[in-house]
Structure 1
Amino acid sequence: MDALAIHLGDRLGWYRSLAEDGPASPVELAERTGTDARYAREWLEQQAVTGILGVDEDGRFSLSPVGVAVLADPHSLAYSTPMARMVCGAAMHLPELLEAYRTGGGVSWSRLGRDARESQADANRPWFEHRLEGALRSVPELDAVLRKPGARLLDIGCGAVWSTIALAHACPGGHVDGVDVDLASVELARTNVESDDAVAQRITVIESDAADLPEATYDAAFAFECIHDMPQPVEVLDAVRRTLAPGAPLIVVDEAVAETFTAPGDDVERLIVRMRLGEVVFEIFENFGHNLPELSYAPCG
């Protein structure tokens, strides 16, 4: 129930209003956001009862600084409302998921819609903005690639392109191609690129299958938090390998989960369902999230 309520506060702009405009009564919050005062009251009271919002002496509801970081600041490393958005986005497709579990089929990413698409992008964005460059520069071989004038980088499965933008900032003398097969994600990505004048001219967003990319072109390729979602990961990795110049690396960044099946698991294990990729010719580095270990490095021979 809290996840559903958080989703409402996220999508209706209620958290954002409390963060930016300050404490509010139900009527004030409704007027600020163009919503209904009766439902605003029900939501505010529920949020206060569950301990998310505070109630001032004058009866107005407020969001603490910690609440702002977790619920209303899309640049915060603690930003968590996208997770509620993901849960609700998946729940809307439970009939299709039930059928997939019975038959062994699947539900395509394009079917999951805006909530799923934007939640994954927004959940990953803060880490890309604050941590990615430092993580990559901690590996001398990757730091050398990022400093190379005219470097060509590939971001496969770029989604909303926050990772691609971060790569362009980290590689000021290079060009980054962001590639995705999902048209809606590509359209969102192109809008996001245009919002960053500092790197927009050095990013190209391409709707394409990895198999259609040019051969021996890129000085490095990156796959951020996407390989485990692919129905044919080995084929994608093989296609990406062909796009790399001789000796160029592929860096796969994903959730830092346990090395082996563990039950019961910690909170990370409870959240993540890990898809093992089997034997591939690339080193897979699981270094995503707040518990980032030292990055490893392996060239593609």
Structure 2
Amino acid sequence: MTLREPDRQKLDKLVERLVGDVGAAVSGALVVLGDDLGLFKALADGVPRDVARLAKETGLKERYLREWLSAMAAADYITYDDGTDRFHLTPEQAMVFAQEDSPAFFAGAFQVTQSMWMDEPKIAEAFRSGRGVGWHEHSVCLFRGTERFFRPGYNTHLVSSWIPALNGVEAKLKVGARVADVGCGHGASTILMAQAYPASRFFGFDYHAPSIEKARAAAEEAGVGDRVTFEQATAAEFPPQGYDMVAMFDCLHDMGDPVGAGRHVKETLAPGGTWLIVEPFAHDNLKDNLNPVGRVYYGASTMICTPASLSQEVGLGLGAQAGEMRLRKVALDAGFSHFRRARETPFNMVFEARA
């Protein structure tokens, strides 16, 4: 077999892109470092600082800070003024790296990526054996990073857009409804709904016990502990209590048996109840997902979501880019007769299912 000679221009273009990708990977580690050390928050006021001042304010060592600041400036994550030898965050950079409640906050995404690097040996072994890797088997940074990654989107859209798009659900929540948040993780979505609808009761369920403990503490801190209950339970076993809505946020595709979970949801709903399904945005055809968002989601699906599904019974392995057609089939196979896309964002699809 004769190998075709590579096109030099195409090769140079690919190498140029790889330099950028390696730089992004390296910068990701430094973002996690800066986030852990509180450096972005120390710079969040936008006031230019030289290295000595930042060292004094943070208690960190100048030589390390200069190297970190220089790397972040090279990544355009921090702004450098050559005339004064000072560094600062622009308002846009502060929104992305320092402001936890910003709709553009991105530090959590780098923690999720950190877990992929740390857990790569486990995934490599899964490729060889065919076995899965459970959510609970990942590094702790995944659990915290996932909550911080998804929470800004929930803060921006859940109460203002997604719930109002569901037929009749918001009216029930305002007067007093029962809601189950299945796969609640650290409880960000559950707590947000409880704050918005004080007349309703909310029940968060997750099979991961450490996440449930975090959620309970977060609910108390948020002042909603009197109307939110968090319990350890799987999607197939959470207690039926005649819920007006059962919500699953970015977790249905992680389940080994999403159809079975859907059947259980149907059994737990009150008459006229709604199943709210929020999933990562995806088109139905692979070629349409070959874009920056699809790149992130396929990568996360390879390292986290698909292994999680394959670690469970059935192991359907929907993946984070399942698309509407496959999700619709899950809902219909579970016994729901009504399924529609209620809303979408560049990162999420929001579905309403009814019996």
Same-fold call, TM cutoff 0.5:
yes
* Structure 2 counterpart of 1:46, one-letter code: A
Q: CA shift at 1:20, angstroms?
A: 4.3
Shift of 1:291: 6.3
1:71 to partner: Cα distance = 0.9
What is the DSSP-based 3-state SS (H/G/I as helix, E as strand, rest coil) of the residue aligned with 2:175? coil
SS in 2 for 1:245: strand
Q: Alpha-carbon deviation of 1:44?
A: 0.5
Q: Which among 216, 236, 246 is matched to residue 211 of structure 1?
A: 236
Identity %: 30
Unaligned regions of 5+ residues in structure 1, if any?
none
Q: Equivalents in 1 of 2:236, 2:289: separation in Å?
A: 39
Give the structure with higher Rg (CA). 2
Q: After the TM superposition, which of the residue ranges 174-183 and 204-213 deviates more from structure 2? A: 204-213
How far, CA to CA, are the matches of 2:187 and 2:343 in structure 1? 19
Alignment of 1:115-264 (within 5 A): 115-135=141-161, 136-149=163-176, 151-197=177-223, 199-262=224-287
Equivalent residue number for residue 91 of structure 1? 117
- Relative to structure 1, the CA distance from residue 46 to residue 146 in structure 2 (aligned partners, 3 Å threshold; closer, same or farther) is same
Partner Cα separation in structure 2 for residue 209 and residue 291 of structure 1: 26
Q: CA deviation at 1:209?
A: 2.0
Return the alpha-carbon distance in structure 1 between the equivalents of residues 61 and 265 of structure 2: 50
The residue identity in structure 1 corresponding to 2:271 is P
Q: Under a length normalisation based on structure 1, what TM-score does the superposition of the two structures give?
A: 0.90
Listed as ranges, the gaps of 5+ residues in structure 2 are 1-25, 299-320
Partner SS state of residue 131, structure 2: coil
Q: How many residues align?
A: 297
TM-score where L is the length of structure 2: 0.77
- Rounded to whole Å, the distance in 2 between the matches of 1:231 and 1:38 is 49
Q: In 2, distance between residues paired with 1:185 and 1:143?
A: 27
Could you list the per-position Cα deviations for residues 20-60 of structure 1 after superposition, in whole angstroms to 9, with x for gaps in the alignment? 48433333333433433222111101111222211233212
* Contact 1:253/1:287, CA 8 A, preserved across alignment: no
Quick one: distance in 2 between partners of 1:124 and 1:284?
22
Per-residue deviation, 1:288: 5.5
Higher-helix-fraction structure = 2
Tell me the distance in 1 between the aligned counterparts of 2:147 and 2:154: 10
Amino acid at match of 2:168: E
The corresponding residue for 1:298 is: 353
- Asked whether the 8 Å contact 2:46–2:90 carries over to 1, the reply is no
Distance, in Å, in 2 between the alignment partners of 1:113 and 1:169 is 30
Residue 36 (structure 1) aligns with: 61
